[in-house]
Amino acid sequence: MPPWGAALALLLAAAALLLLLRAVGARSGIQNHEEQADKRGSTDQFGCRREPLPGGRSLICKPSALAQCLLRALRRSAALEPGQRSWLSWLSGPHLQTFCHFLLPVRAGPELAREYLQLADDGLVALDWVIGPCARGRQVTNAGALPAVLLVIPNAWGRLTRNVLGLCLLALERGYYPVIFHRRGHHGCPLVSPRLQPFGDPSDLKEAVTYIRFRHPAAPLFAVSEGSGSALLLSYLGECGSSSYMTGAACISPVLRCREWFETGLPWPYERGFLLHQKIALSRYATALEDTVDTSKLFRSRSLREFEETLFCHTKNFPISWDTYWDLNDPLRDVDEAAVPVLCICSADDPVSGPPDRSLPAELFQSNPYFFLLLSRHGGHCGFLRQEPLPAWSHEVILESFKALTEFFRMEERMKGLSRRRTSFLGGRRRWGALQKREVSPSCNMEETFSWKRSYTR
């Protein structure tokens, strides 16, 4: 681990310890009060469209045939059944689950094969294909079909977390081809041009998806995003609409009201930790960014909003206002155009995104038939821990929901094919009956027949 990585880990571990001690002291009183308040708030907001699930969870969505299919799959899911809880979640502490997600390494890291994709403006993004290991044997996701590709989008800060790697390993076991998308300058991807990817700009992701489709033209494509990385995935689905090439998508602890999220700020351990991580990641490109950004002001930023505004709004070449930036980068700006089922897994005690009544737009899930919200009382931010060595229950649920979507769409195509064949068959019978009637009809006039033949041969 590089020195800055150790320093960041030490800072986050110290903050986690402080929050853990605070949680132990307040567990009997304040935490229960907050849980009841969150539960009342979420019930008031989503009560009219809430479908109960095992383990005290619920699914909020607009009623439809697709929603019923997904609901049946979730109610059968063993991952949602209440069982032995992880030693990491014995406090039901959202901070503890969140810090474990960001700090603890995966037990056995996956084998990655990296590709660099040169973009239209000569920039670079990276694609990490997960090629192993797969100790328990590779399963088949689609019987008689090509294995599906799973596109994984990490958080907006570029940190490859324990849960992202765990999801890739589980997906590889289940027969998927996982591939991790890294933005410009993230996770070892070189920044070859002084341009970074704004928070909700999907232009680089579009080129990456086009390349993936070129490599696997006939394979189904699914996508999963983590935390703040969901803004990129939702922007892509909204801009591309029915041309996204995706069969389904899922967002783990998504940040949906992004502007309010930046302006309100996060609890200080997360605000400082994420800000420090971004500063360290960009410090190696300080000289290259001097011509476009005021780097001295950038590295003196004291909040995520100030950092984002300095990096993308107060540029030297094309400065824009904060309002204009979010007009162009709000992930929900074209959400009505999305034509792919999206499952959002959220926790009512998420310390990063905030409580559901402030962070989740209820109208999106109640009115849009493509968006589904799986709301849990516990889980933290991207945590959703279970007893070791089991993966996070959110990973199991996502892959099971993708399987249900595949079966649903396959059945829909089969029913459409039967309907087309039935229509063709009945149409043929009607045409054959008409010909027979025409041949034996006693009202058929020979002169009309002869005139028709003469006019046809002329």
Residues carrying an active site annotation: 350, 381
**Exposure string over 415-433, b if 16+ CB within 10 A, otherwise e:** eeeeeeeeeeeeeeeeeee
Can you tell me the distance from the alpha carbon of 258 to that of 96, in angstroms, rounded to the nearest whole number? 24
The residue with tokens 């009382």 is 377
The answer to whether 353 and 385 are in contact (CB under 8 A) is no
Q: Count of CB atoms within 10 A of residue 6's CB?
A: 10
- Contacts of residue 442, Cβ cutoff 8 Å, sequence gap at least 6: none
Can you tell me the distance from the alpha carbon of 19 to that of 10, in angstroms, rounded to the nearest whole number? 14
Q: What is the dihedral of CA 167, 168, 172, 175, to 10 degrees?
A: 70
Helix (H, G, I), strand (E, B) or coil at 296: helix
| Token duo for residue 196 | 């970074």
| Token duo for residue 220 | 């189904």
The gap between the terminal CA atoms of the chain, to the nearest Å, is 88
- Contacts of residue 56, Cβ cutoff 8 Å, sequence gap at least 6: 82, 376, 377
Going from the C-alpha of 276 to that of each of 95, 113, 291, 303, 306, the distances in angstroms are 19, 28, 22, 10, 13
